Each structure stands twice: as C-alpha cells, then as structure tokens.
Amino acid sequence: MDTTLERFQADVIDASMQKPVLLDFWAPWCGPCKSLGPLLEKLETQYGGRFLLVKVNTDEQQQLAQHFRIRSIPAVFAFVGGQPVDQFQGALSEGQLREFIDRLLPDPADAEIEQAMQALERGDRDGAVALLQKVLATAPEHETARLLYAQVLLEGDPGAALAMLEALSDEAKGDPQVADLIARARQLAEEAHVPPPLELLTRIAENEGDLEARLELARHYVDQKAWAPALEQLLEIVKRDRAFGDDIGRKTMIEVFGMASAQPQLVAEWRRRLSSVLF
C-alpha cells in the first residue's frame, strides 16, 4: 500500500504492532527503485502476509521524506513493535532481501514452544508433547525445546529425559539449574531401571545365534525404554537372519524409531546402521 503523512500512524506504527512493516521510500524517476519495488512486492506475496510492505512516494510525500532524512533512494526502513529496528539504502539482490526480512520475522519454533507452555499450564501434557515433538522434528538442536521436553518427560520417562538433557550444549549444561535437572533425571532413570533377565543373557552368551533370546531381550529393553540396547539386539537379528520371524528384526526397529522420536540423533544413527546392513 501507499501511505501518507496522515495515514502513517495507522499504516506503519500501528500495523507494526501485529507484524513487521517494510517502509519503502521511492520515486517514479528512480532507476534502482524500479527493480527493488517489484522485488519487494513479490516477496510480500511469497511470504504469505508475514510482513507488510508500505510505500512512500518521496515526490508526493516530502514531509515524510524530510522526517526520515532521506538523502538517496531507494531507502527501506523496517518497523517492529512500533519502532524502526533496521534499514538499508540502494537496491539489494533477492537473497539479500530475504536475509533482511528473515531477521525481522519471529521464529515459528518460538511460537510453538509458547503454545506448549500454555498447554502445560492447562494440564494438557499430550498437547505439549505433540508441539515439542513438532519443533524438534524440524529443529533437533533447538535447546529451549529440548530442555522443556526433558522436563515434561522427567516423571514418566526419566531415561528419555536424561538423553535429551545430555544432548544439550556444554554451555547449557553449565547452568546450575540444568545441572541439577540432569542429576535428578539420572537418579530417577537408575531407580526405574530393571536389569535384563539373566536367563536371556546366558542363552545369548552360550549361543550368539539364539535369535529368539535376542528378540525377547530387545522387547525387555523396549519396555524399559532403553532404545539403544534394544536396537542393538534387533540389528543383530537382521544381520544374522533377515527372514527370522517374517523380518521381525527390521520391523521392530522401525517401531522403535517411532517410540524414540524424542531422541532424533539416536534414531538417525540407528537408521544409518540399519541402512548399511540392508543395502
């Protein structure tokens, strides 16, 4: 849209309280404006309304141009929350424009994390888990999501919570509160651990090809949510006899990948190992 001095408050200041606004100063005689303007309009459409483009014809709106001390055009100012937060002069490439715009836009993950926190406040644990899993599926290294998810998992699945916490950066783990949380998760995981049946371990030690014992041991580990030991036994079944139990080793591994989705790095590693065996 084109704005004027009279509409500036509504078109730019008020509008920027809802979404970022790019204020483009241009003129009909300006050569670079003729390339920048259409590119900004194209990006406004492609970004699907995540930012608003407002244009100022400096020939017609000289008071606005003087207020912003415009000396050369094109000149673009970015407004967020009613305040100018960034600017540039001259024509930029499409890639440079996208970088400029992306810096202004809120991270979608932050909004989903906020929704997850609100869900927890309402007592909707399943809703919070679904939101956090969605964030981690697209941004597995998002430390705020990891930390919050670990806190959600702590009481019901301390082993998975511990794995999430131990995957945090050294800087995050250096926080005293996070360190206390890790210690608590480790204690709860140890208390919840049930050792595997000695009979199964003995059978496998005496006969490494006892695939039935390996399958039972894997199921024990799955019940304990000890994903890595379970996957180790299942992969050994796939290696030794792909046809055993109608390919049950591979099929069960795929089921475990879904159950262990809270640990994307672990899942990715064991997917890679399975692929190397299959192909």
pLDDT higher for 55 or 259?
A: 55
The pLDDT tens digits for 165-208 are 887 888 888 889 989 988 988 888 777 777 788 898 899 999 99
Q: Which two tokens stand for residue 121?
A: 């406040």
Q: What was the pLDDT predicted at 137?
A: 79
The catalytic residue positions are: 30, 33
CATH class name, domain 108-192: mainly alpha
Name beta bridge partners: 87: 77
Measure the N-to-C terminal CA separation of the chain; round to a whole number of Å: 57
pLDDT at 247 over 80: yes
The pLDDT tens digits for 32-81 are 999 999 999 999 999 888 899 999 999 999 999 999 999 899 999 999 98
* pTM attached to this predicted model: 0.48
Residue span(s) of the chain under CATH 1.25.40.10 come to: 108-192
Report the share of the chain in percent with pLDDT over 70.
100
pLDDT at 155 over 80: no
Banded model confidence at residue 266, pLDDT cuts 50, 70, 90: confident
Long-range contacts of 203-212 (CB under 8 A, 24+ apart): 209/240, 211/237, 211/240, 211/241, 211/244, 211/245, 211/249
181 exposure class (CB count in 10 Å sphere: 0-12, 13-18, 19+): buried
Average pLDDT over residues 105-127: 83
The pLDDT tens digits for 6-22 are 999 999 999 999 899 99
CATH homologous superfamily of domain 8-104? Glutaredoxin (3.40.30.10)
Q: What was the pLDDT predicted at 142?
A: 81
CATH class name, domain 198-278: mainly alpha
**What is the spatial distance between Cα 28 and Cα 185, in angstroms, rounded to a whole number?**
65
Banded model confidence at residue 264, pLDDT cuts 50, 70, 90: confident
Residues 6+ apart with CB under 8 A from 212: none
Q: Which two tokens stand for residue 197?
A: 């049946």
pLDDT at 153 over 90: no
Q: What was the pLDDT predicted at 36?
A: 93
Residue span(s) of the chain under CATH 3.40.30.10 come to: 8-104
